[in-house]
């Protein structure tokens, strides 16, 4: 199953690969060279198909828990001052996505969307310290009565040239449901209450909609 954001790109890539394959078959007489070209074209098509895949995830709804919004690796767990929305200290957990990860962004908690904003910006590498403030990004805040407010921020990377955000103010977010999509390598930051229980460690691989990032402190 492929994500709707990739349908046009997949079609164009398929046409490109088929066209180039026919040209290679007609104009490259050297068998080994023609074979290499065909393998490269096939690998390119498989890479695009893999990038836009949209596997079904089994999210166990729990208002006391925060699930990972994306697939990837945890690269940041630290206390920071979040100045766009909260204007106070929060726990930041960041997940880095490589180009081969699923790039669907999912709601980390269920609740009401109370903030959603797009910021144009640069395309620094996603792990750059200033990426969360200077790169193209979107910020979404969801609130529920059990956990409180959770902010997740999609951040474009050096390869990501388009962020898609579906979240609108007053939408009803469902934990694990789609909130957006980022095209190519990028990162998502979570900003959580200081008293939250972090359930992941640095460099841990996580799955969007399934891995538990944090849990409310009783």
Q: Which residues are catalytic?
A: 186
Q: Which residues contact 132 (CB under 8 A, 6 or more apart)?
A: 94, 153, 155, 187, 189
The residue behind tokens 């997940």 is 95
- HSE of 140, CA atoms in CB hemisphere, 13 A: 30
The edge-to-edge listing of strands for the beta sheet with 104-106 is 104-106, 178-182, 163-165
From first CA to last CA, the distance across the chain in angstroms is 39
**Residues contacting 124, CB < 8 A, separation 6+:** 130, 131, 134, 135, 157, 158
d(CA 168, CA 124): 26
**Non-local CB neighbours of 105 within 8 Å, separated by 6+ positions:** 69, 70, 152, 154, 178, 179, 180, 181, 182, 188, 208
């Amino acid at each position: 199953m492929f994500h709707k954001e990739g349908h046009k790109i997949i079609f164009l890539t398929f046409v490109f690969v088929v066209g180039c394959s026919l040209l290679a078959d007609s104009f490259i007489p050297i068998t080994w060279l023609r074979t290499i070209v065909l393998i490269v074209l096939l690998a390119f098509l498989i890479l695009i198909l893999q990038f836009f895949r949209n596997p079904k995830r089994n999210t166990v709804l729990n208002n006391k828990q925060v699930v990972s919004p994306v697939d990837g690796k945890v690269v940041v767990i630290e206390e920071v001052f979040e100045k766009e929305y909260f204007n106070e200290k929060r726990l930041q957990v960041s997940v880095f996505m490589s180009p081969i990860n699923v790039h669907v962004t999912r709601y980390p908690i269920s609740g009401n969307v109370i903030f959603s904003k797009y910021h144009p910006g640069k395309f620094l590498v996603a792990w750059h310290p200033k990426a969360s403030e200077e790169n193209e990004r979107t910020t979404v805040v969801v609130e529920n009565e059990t956990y409180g407010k959770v902010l997740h921020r999609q951040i474009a990377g050096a390869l990501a040239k388009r962020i898609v955000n579906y979240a609108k103010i007053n939408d009803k977010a469902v934990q694990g449901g789609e909130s957006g999509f980022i095209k190519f390598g990028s990162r998502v930051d979570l900003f959580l209450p200081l008293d939250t229980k972090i359930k992941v460690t640095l460099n841990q691989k996580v799955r969007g909609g399934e891995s538990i990032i944090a849990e409310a402190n009783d």
